[in-house]
Amino acid sequence: MIELYQLEQLITIAQSGTISKAAEKLLISQPGLTRSIQRLEEDLDLKLFDRTKNKITLNENGQLAVEYAKNILKSTHQMVEELQKFDRSHSTISIGSCTPAPLWGLKYTLSHLYPESKITEQLESQDKLLKGLKENNYSLIVLTHPIEDKDYICIDMFEENLYISVPPAHPLALFNEISFRDLDGQSILLLSHIGFWSEICQQMLPKSHLLFQEDTSILNELTKVSALPNFRSNITIQKPEKNRVFIPITDPEAKVHYYVIYHKDKKKLFTSLKKDIKDLDWNEIL
């Protein structure tokens, strides 16, 4: 039976010109390559080369065989690509995260890597995310810490730092940096669905009136027409607001590092994720 590797060897010999050069390129021994090509000739029941004492050259049979071999390998590669694409189109990549920003980056990246796949997303507490990953409810999750488990791969994602956004005429605009203690007691706008950031803000600002908004568009409109502070981060300030000053919050609770975690069985699926995450263009995503 003809093997695909024999067709690859035949093409390499045609491209290299000699058995010795082809063997070197294929990283096999010259006698081994010679025997493999002889078996191919036996399976085809014809000669592919004209042989002299010190040289072999493709004959007309061999030249035609090379063309067929190229077409067969091209069709084989296309078959593999189409089957993998078909499989991805019937699969779902489920992302779980403790906060929105990593979801935006991962969804953007994965939708470009696997446009045929359905991508779902969910905000959840870190304990539930880890439990869900181990129960195969998620393809990958985002936590604020790596995990020590040989069955899982952790990728350093990025850092998010919290800022307060105020109009230039607001008293807080005089600060170059600010703490939660300085903010405590203020009325502040913020979105409801921001994962663990919501808990941090409530814990660190017990005297503040936190004005939770369900709808992003309503929050943005309130920001435009009012002097109320709202929270932003180093990620979201890359899409600037008009007539707003962004002040970094200095508390350690306002600085978080994210890690993408997935089972090692999905290593091949997410092989380029580390590089793609580092190259994220937030201006394009936002």
Q: Which residue has the tokens 């590797």?
A: 5
Distance between CA 143 and CA 97 in Å, rounded?
Answer: 7
The pLDDT tens digits of the residues spanning 209-224 come to 999 998 888 888 888 8
DSSP, res 192: S
> Of 68, 88, 108, which residue sits at a domain end?
88
CA distance 248 to 233: 8
Shared domain for 166 and 247, answered yes or no, is: yes
Task: Say what the pLDDT of residue 90 is.
Answer: 63
124 and 145 part of one domain:
yes
Task: Please check whether residues 133 and 268 belong to one and the same domain.
Answer: yes
Assign 280 a pLDDT band (cuts: 50, 70, 90): confident
150 shares its domain with 181 = no
Q: Are residues 131 and 204 in the same domain?
A: no
pLDDT tens for each residue of 2-58: 899 999 999 999 999 888 898 889 889 988 888 999 999 999 999 998 888 778 889
CATH of the domain at 272: 3.40.190.10
Radius of gyration of the chain (CA): 30
Euclidean distance between CA atoms 82 and 86, whole angstroms: 6
Closest CA to 126 of 106, 115, 142, 108: 142
pLDDT at 89 over 60: no
- Pairing assessment for the beta strands 49-51 and 140-143 based on DSSP bridges: unpaired
Pick from 279, 277, 283: nearest CA to 107: 277
Q: How far apart are CA 246 and CA 249, in angstroms?
A: 10
Strand partners, 256: 160
pLDDT tens-digit series, residues 267-278? 888 888 888 887
Show which of 57, 88, 119 is a domain's final residue: 88
pTM of model > 0.85: no
* Total number of domains constituting the chain: 3
The residue among 4 and 283 whose pLDDT is bigger is: 4
Write the CATH number for 80. 1.10.10.10
Q: For 119-146, what is each residue's pLDDT tens digit?
A: 999 999 999 999 999 998 899 999 999 9
CA angle 37, 41, 43 (to 5 degrees): 115
Q: Based on the domain organization, do 239 and 212 belong to the same domain?
A: yes
3-state secondary structure string, 45-111?
CCCCEEECCCCEEECHHHHHHHHHHHHHHHHHHHHHHHHHHHHHHCCEEEEEECCHHHHHHHHHHHH
Look at residue 145 and give its three-state secondary structure: coil
Q: Which domain holds residue 13?
A: 4-88
Answer left, alpha or beta for residue 253, where phi above 0 means left and psi between -120 and 50 means alpha: alpha
Domain-ending residue, one of 88, 103, 128 = 88
